[in-house]
Amino acid sequence: MFRAVISEAKEFKKVIDAASNLLDEICFEVNEEGIKARAMDPSHVALVSIDIPKEAFEEYEADVHDIGVDLEAFKKIMNRAKAKDKLILELDEEKNKLNVIFKGAATRKFALALYDVSSSNLQVPDIEYPNEILIKAGPFVDALKDADLVNDHVTLKVEDGKFIVYAKGDLNESETIFEEDSESIISMNIGENAKSTFNLEYLRDMTKAASSSDILKIYLGTDMPVKIEYDVAGANLTFLLAPRIES
């Protein structure tokens, strides 16, 4: 069996949005501890990892199940959530559906078809990073928006104790400099100068579920995948994005 009650459907919607920006389908592995999912996007450029401990739920009860769903369909259903709705997720093993129930002014039920999405057994690779930056999501997303004006990729740099978001197009350039004492920065754990370049659209998608005051943990090296972690509605979201390199 699997049944979970989430007090704010709108918050859970952000988790589904974050995944659906990058993935077509996902397998939620549920057990008595909580829900987890790991998947790479079809091009293997990005990885999404979702962990929701049972404590994040108002009620939670589960045995071991793999629940594979089409994310576009799930997202469309979650878009129907009203501001004060509670969300109930329950597995209907007989009908092979995931019931998605909104409880608010009325009780609205959707039955979402299950897909045979095999659980990936993917692990987030245990990469050692020289730099770890804790930054407010708002200013970081703004820096990405600035970069978006000049090119479709962006360079994230650690240089002389500063975190820099830099983009260069054929004609124009943009640069946002975060110093350690800037109010956007919570903390910087700097080991060495580093620089990696990334596709901007992926980075935008990965940060979409974060509210501007949420705190992103960014792990950065040179020509290494960037790792971005944050929490939404008690769920831990981790994203990994492969770099572009000069060849």
Residues that bind other proteins (CB under 8 A): 40, 43-47, 125, 127, 153, 197, 199, 224-225, 240, 242-247
Residue carrying the six token digits 């000069």: 246
Q: How far is the CB of 247 from other proteins (least distance, A)?
A: 5
| Both tokens assigned to 208 | 């979409």
d(CA 4, CA 2): 7
Closer residue to other proteins, CB minimum distance, 53 or 130: 130
Q: Where are the beta strands (DSSP E) in 72-172?
A: 86-92, 97-103, 107-113, 131-136, 153-159, 162-168
Choice between 49 and 184, CB closer to other proteins: 49
Q: Listing from the earlier edge strand, what are the strands of the sheet with 107-113?
A: 59-62, 2-6, 86-92, 97-103, 107-113
Please identify, using beta-carbon distances, which residue of 39 and 188 lies nearer to other proteins: 39
C-beta closer to other proteins: residue 171 or 245: 245
C-alpha separations of 152 from 58, 66, 109, 113, 144 in Å: 41, 36, 41, 36, 10
Q: Which amino acid is at 217?
A: K
CB of 165 to other proteins, least distance (A): 17
User: Which lies closer to other proteins via its Cβ, residue 115 or residue 129?
Assistant: 129
- Give the nearer residue to other proteins in terms of CB position, either 140 or 239: 239
CB of 245 to other proteins, least distance (A): 6
Minimum distance from CB of 45 to other proteins (Å)? 6
User: Minimum distance between the CB of residue 93 and other proteins, rounded to whole angstroms?
Assistant: 33
DSSP letter for each residue of 225-239: -EEEEEEETTEEEEE
Shortest Å distance, C-beta 82 to other proteins: 37
